[in-house]
Amino acid sequence: MMRVDSRSQGLADLHRHLDGSLRPETVAEFAATLGENVPSDLSFYSGMGLEQALSRFSFTLSLLQQPENVRRVASEICEDALKEGVTTLEIRFAPQLHRGAPMEAIVDAALEGISNRSGLLLCGLYGEDPSVLDRLVDIAASRQGVVGIDLAGGPTPSHRFHMTDYAHPFRRAKEHGLGVTVHAAEGRPPSEIRDAVEVLLADRIGHGTTLLEDSATVDLVLKQEVVIEACLSSNAHVGAIATASEHPLPKWLALGVRATVCTDNTLLSCVTSKSEHSLALTLPGMTDSLLNRAIAHGHEGRFR
């Protein structure tokens, strides 16, 4: 079997959250400076559920309120990814959750840390007022290096706003030439993929684990050449799939879906791009040529 680290084209990781991908030693250092204790159960574990998983970010975010910490972590993520063999990288985060400076200064700090080594995506969050997304689009459109907009987190019954309520800002993002990706169908119905593609004009989908439950949605994804950002370990952690070995990635690739392997959160899921590609190679039905195709989808699917 081909070794993942011998692939000549380098790896691609289009879905890596800044606030879930800190180095453990940086977490310890920031926590010590702020007088906080690092929770012993910070890492994700299998079947914990999306809500529990999202709650882990409240600690990492507490360490990342100031622009200088955002700048440093963005830089370290680029260094780490390069060491993993990643040659196409996109980092994403929700600047509205970092309150130590105005959103513009937080985004600029991330861009300085990245220093042209990665694309940057700004994340709106399920449930928040669409006006926040509009601000993110304005910030993104006026900065080279911000290449796309995302909708992250997940819907809950108590939310006043639903995915389709974000149509206006996402359409504006497209008009400004930004890429659009949406966290959709993360164990939830495949109709979310359809709404994301048809209403929010998504070029890419984060997760999409239930895609194969609806053949019309598969046809749509194939016809529109939608890229699916597959996050194997993360999907098992939040319970979107029962175990990583049941991930539908090989079936997607065999059907011609433009899926690619992503990490989601290197710290919280204890993964690297290399380890996730090695895991993908162990899936039933996976072949070297299918995995090489997935890597190519990642390079081709990057936002510019």
Which residue ranges make up the site for Zn ion (CB under 5 A)? Answer: 264
Name which of 195 and 264 has its Cβ closer to Zn ion.
Answer: 264
Closer residue to Zn ion, CB minimum distance, 19 or 264? 264
Judged by beta carbon, residue 203 or residue 264, the one nearer Zn ion is 264
Q: Write out the two tokens for 142.
A: 């006026």
Tell the smallest beta-carbon distance from residue 19 to Zn ion (Å). 10
Q: Are 264 and 230 in contact (CB under 8 A)?
A: no
Closer Cβ to Zn ion, 55 or 115, answer by number? 55
Q: Work out how close the CB of 217 gets to Zn ion at its nearest, in angstroms, rounded to a whole number.
A: 20
Shortest separation between residue 287's beta carbon and Zn ion, angstroms: 27
Q: In the numeric block, which tokens belong to residue 71?
A: 């700048």
Alpha-carbon gap, residue 13 to 87, rounded angstroms = 8
Q: Helix 273-281 and helix 288-301: axis angle, to 10°?
A: 140
Three-state SS at 279: helix
Whole-angstrom Cα distance, residue 20 to residue 265? 5
Query: Which residue minimizes CB distance to Zn ion?
Result: 264
In angstroms, give the least distance from the CB of 150 to Zn ion. 8
Q: How far is the CB of 189 from Zn ion (least distance, A)?
A: 18
Q: Considering the complex, what minimum distance in angstroms separates the CB of residue 2 from Zn ion? A: 28
Mind spelling out the 3-state secondary structure of 112-149? Answer: HHHCCCCEEEEEEECCCCHHHHHHHHHHHHCCCCEEEE
User: Smallest gap, in angstroms, from Cβ of residue 90 to Zn ion?
Assistant: 11
By C-beta, is 13 or 264 nearer to Zn ion?
264
Place of tokens 């680029």: 78
φ, ψ of residue 79 to 5 degrees: the values are -65, -45
Cβ contact 262:276 at 8 Å:
yes
Compute CA 204 distance to the chain's CA centroid, rounded to the nearest angstrom. Answer: 10
Nearer to Zn ion, 11 or 290 (CB): 11
264 or 276: CB nearest Zn ion: 264
- Concatenating the DSSP letter of every residue in 31-80 gives HHHHT-PPPTT-S--TT--HHHHHHTHHHHHHT--SHHHHHHHHHHHHHH
DSSP state of 173: H
Q: How far is the CB of 128 from Zn ion (least distance, A)?
A: 16
CA 271 from centroid of its chain's CA atoms:
14
Q: Which is nearer to Zn ion, 30 or 57 (CB)?
A: 57
